[in-house]
Structure 1
Amino acid sequence: MAWLENTFPRALAICLAIAPLALPFPAGAAPEVIECIVILDQETGVTLVRSGICDERFTPMSTFKVPLALIGYDAGILKDERTPRWDYDPKFDAPKRARKAFDPTSWEAESILWYSQELTRKLGAESFGDYIRKLDYGNRDTAGRPGQDEGLTESWLSSSLLISADEQARFMRRIVARDLPVSAKALDMTIRIIPRFAADDGWNVQGKTGSGWLRRKNGKLDRSRPVGWFVGWAEKDGRRIAFARLRIDVAKATEPSGLALRAQFLKELPARMRGK
């Protein structure tokens, strides 16, 4: 498996990364770990767990495939769990693992960037921007970086579109509550294709990871600042929650940070929910 989650076709040149709006540190100060966990009660919206820096916005990276699925189904581009199945084109210049055909389910499971970009190209810039604003997703900015002409295909990747962990958790809750301005089919199909995981103590989890790095002031990736997301919803014995987990570390990672954070969340969830 590729070191990253295949969310960029030019993994070493672009890669998934947090936007260059990292939290400022005093001159000469060592960077610190940025971490957050938010868990909301699905039925009431009450915050059950909230710890860390949860209100700062960062690039959503591969977690953006969740709202993008909603958009694709609502626009009629995505049809069901297996349609459309798009063939790989060498012009995508994707990592070897992504050089094959994908459908909506495998797109989400294997986190394939070129499938996302084909979807947004079919939408067009105006419709894409309209959907993000209608969904009230993060800062709603799909313009891309100045002079880069990247808004349609990379605004969610180290660019202009940003979202906080608080906002991620609320958005996930709205999906399950079917409280978003898209069709019932779009909500149902998106819930069907989001990857499923078994957590400890009987929790059933659905969620999407995101992995990357912060950028230095000069715009280059800082591999000593790996970023991980895991967002979604979970259920146990009729109790339902929505969640967002974020961690930005201070040392080089040995695996995609989102995958490591997902494994951590699946283990820690029972303890986090004990007594809630």
Structure 2
Amino acid sequence: MLARLLLACSCLLALAGAAWGDTCTLVTELDTGRVVKREGDCERRNSPASTFKVPLSLMGYDAGILKDEDEPAWPYRPEYKSWNEAWRKTTTPRSWLKDSVLWYSHVLTRELGEDRFKRYVEAFGYGNRDVSGDRGKANGLTRAWLSASSLQISPVEQIAFLSRLLKRKLPISGKAREMALAIMPAFPLPDGWTAYGKTGTGFQPLQNGTFDRSRQFGWFIGWAQKGERKILFARLIRDERKENFVASFRARDSLLADLPALLAE
């Protein structure tokens, strides 16, 4: 039944896909590096948006700020001014990733501090490693990874980062790695596979350095696992026109619909 629903979803999304504009899909085997699927411009860099919560979680656990799946449970405060009502509640590391809570990221990066934050991004070799933030505003600690700000990463680089994470090649403790993996959102797939992934969305940049609220971008990155086999994936959508449905959810739902056929290859 699940397989039929996924197939139906895939067909519907394929019909809508022509409106999405520039879309990259990159799927590779973790152990061998074999490219299962590569389509679109996967070298072009883009803001990571909320996919940056993956490296942020590693930083938080390695630094000892994040303790486990449920601690710290930080309360929402009115000064956070969250536009999303779902974020206006006490948040834990697990619900932070599940609900993609922006203010929790800001509390975490402030706890890390600017120097330590920069050192982690550099040590991870993450994208262009530029955490300066919005041009001329010195706000990298809370803005660098969002929409048209300074930190940029390509789908190819997202896959490389995930590969280093899963192969234990990042300069973090084993405990930090395991705790970060434990809070990754999970998505069951047919035939015993499970996908683990993170969405990210924002607005595309304009030439003047601001962003265009009429055109979104959307990520879904992660891996699918069955036993010891792992398949890495990244999908990035850049809209050509205004779309009402969140771009990251389109990236996630369309890739989850495509994965069963790709995993069977």
* TM norm structure 2: 0.88
Show the counterpart of 1:73.
61
Distance in 1 of aligned mates of 2:155 and 2:109: 24
Shift in Å at residue 221 of structure 1? 3.5
Shift in Å at residue 146 of structure 1? 2.7
1:161 aligns with 2:151: yes
Distance in 1 of aligned mates of 2:228 and 2:130: 37
1:120-159 to 2 correspondences below 5 Å: 120-157=109-146, 158-159=148-149
- Match for residue 209 of structure 1 among 190, 196, 199: 199
Distance in 2 of aligned mates of 1:255 and 1:164: 23
Give the direction of change, closer, same or farther, for the CA distance of 1:200–1:222 in structure 2 (3 Å limit).
Answer: farther
Distance in 2 of aligned mates of 1:126 and 1:223: 32
Show the counterpart of 1:42.
30
1:194 aligns with 2:184: yes
Distance in 2 of aligned mates of 1:169 and 1:148: 30
Residue 254 of structure 1 aligns with an amino acid whose one-letter code is N
CA contact (8 A) 2:26 2:156 kept: yes
Residue 184 of structure 1 aligns with an amino acid whose one-letter code is G
Give unpaired runs (5+ residues) of structure 1: 1-30
Three-state SS of the structure 2 residue aligned to 1:58 is coil
Shift in Å at residue 208 of structure 1? 0.2
Distance in 2 of aligned mates of 1:152 and 1:37: 30
Shift in Å at residue 253 of structure 1? 1.8
Shift in Å at residue 32 of structure 1? 8.2
| More off after superposition, 107-116 vs 251-260 | 251-260
Three-state SS of the structure 1 residue aligned to 2:234 is strand
Give unpaired runs (5+ residues) of structure 2: 1-18
Show the counterpart of 1:242.
232
1:270 aligns with 2:260: yes
* TM norm structure 1: 0.84
Structure 1 runs, 4 residues or longer, greater than 4 Å off = none
Residue 225 of structure 2 aligns with an amino acid whose one-letter code is E
Residue 222 of structure 1 aligns with an amino acid whose one-letter code is D
Distance in 1 of aligned mates of 2:224 and 2:20: 30
Q: Map Cα deviations across residues 221-259 of structure 1 (whole Å, 9 max, x no partner).
A: 424422110000111354211111111121222221111
CA contact (8 A) 2:135 2:209 kept: no
Identical-pair percentage: 46
Show the counterpart of 1:179.
169
Show the counterpart of 2:44.
56
| More off after superposition, 149-158 vs 220-229 | 220-229
Show the counterpart of 1:88.
76
Residue 174 of structure 1 aligns with an amino acid whose one-letter code is R
Shift in Å at residue 49 of structure 1? 1.8
Shift in Å at residue 189 of structure 1? 0.5
| More off after superposition, 196-205 vs 149-158 | 196-205
Distance in 2 of aligned mates of 1:145 and 1:91: 21
Distance in 2 of aligned mates of 1:202 and 1:105: 23
| More off after superposition, 44-53 vs 243-252 | 44-53
